Structure 1
């Protein structure tokens, strides 16, 4: 869903949140598709994998569906990872509701009805403002596109190792990521 009438970013931010989330890009509002099973499972397992190695030692935190407002856009990546020292904690140590900064690592999981170009545009926007790494996970084609500043995107499949930001120690292959879709029953 897209609105036709251009708004300002500030006007957009005063609107009530929608389910699924809406994003503000180039003066227009785009509603994200409703996450489905594979999307939700990959999103959960990704955030869990990052937080297992990064939260306790206070290296980073991964957030699902966190609104990030910066550079004239307000986007909601499927997963955002922030280095610990960049998280805008409140005085009492709680995580704030608003993040007006770019993520250090952004991950998008392509839904069947979602346009890849819009998702890639959001990843490129993040890289332009300082994000170290972007992943586009395509569950249908079982591939991951990795976006690294100043490089061509990498198309990764099968047993290939995935690039990880330099602040994290995490070894993952494409196969491992897609193995998260299987659940023991």
Structure 2
């Protein structure tokens, strides 16, 4: 699943590779070519419910599952990409730039460090908010530029983008796995 090269791969070389859009998608993070793991049922359920919850706010943002984002040196496919409506491309090309907010859902056997790296790469390029959801530990890790990592459990209200009217708690999110 992972391509290990002696020399880092550039974004130009990566974009010329065949089948980078196959399922599951391939990503380029810090010069390393990685294939995302196949999502589990819990992963898919959380992804579906989060996209629906965000889109149902009728706010100025839209949530997209598995949308490729082309950054300055990386090509990532977050589990959920949230972007302002003014930034939604009108063509059918990959999204260029960092998402306003991204959500990653940790799957069994997936590297937490690699997901944190992906979130940090986006924060470095302008992403305002990153969530990393760990259903095994029932915790949501919150990443924001120039702020320490915060862990949310139980009925703590999760931070969202300031102009988005959405109230979710880890308890609600992990409750979706029981229904």
Same fold at TM > 0.5: yes
| 1:39 matched residue in structure 2 | 43
- Counterpart of 2:177 (choices 167, 175, 181) is 181
- Describe the shift of the 1:7–1:148 C-alpha distance in structure 2 as closer, same or farther (beyond 3 A): closer
Shift of residue 9 of structure 1?
A: 1.1
Cα distance in structure 2, aligned partners of 1:159 and 1:105: 21
Match among 112, 118, 123 for residue 122 of structure 1: 118
Q: Distance in 1 between matches of 2:27 and 2:61?
A: 24
1:141-162 superposed Cα distances (whole Å, 9 cap, x missing partner): 1100001111101100001110
Give unmatched runs, 5+ long, in structure 1: 91-95
Deviations 1:59-118 (A, max 9, x none): 11100011111020001100000011111223xxxxx33111110000000011101000
After superposition, residues 69-148 of structure 1 pair within 5 angstroms as 69-90=70-91, 96-148=92-144
Deviates more, 1:120-129 or 1:9-18: 9-18
Partners of 1:109 and 1:143 lie apart in 2 by: 11
Confirm or deny that 1:66 pairs with 2:73: no
Runs of at least 5 residues in structure 2 that lack an aligned partner in the other structure: none
Once residues 160 and 107 of structure 1 are traced to their aligned partners in structure 2, the CA distance between those partners, rounded to angstroms, is: 17
Q: How far, CA to CA, are the matches of 2:29 and 2:170 in structure 1?
A: 30
Structure 1 distance, partners of 2:13, 2:84, is 29
Q: Is the 8 A contact 1:39 1:111 kept in 2?
A: yes
Q: CA shift at 1:180, angstroms?
A: 1.5
Over the aligned positions, Cα root-mean-square deviation in angstroms equals: 1.2
TM-score of the pair, normalised by structure 2: 0.93
TM-score by length of 1: 0.90
1:18 equivalent to 2:14? Answer no
Q: CA deviation at 1:13?
A: 1.2
Q: Report the 3-state secondary structure (helix = DSSP H, G, I; strand = E; otherwise coil) of the residue aligned with 1:107.
A: strand
Corresponding residue number in structure 2 for 1:52: 56
Is the counterpart of residue 151 in structure 1 residue 153 in structure 2? no
Contact map agreement 1:83 1:167 (CA 8 A) in 2: no
Q: CA deviation at 1:27?
A: 2.1
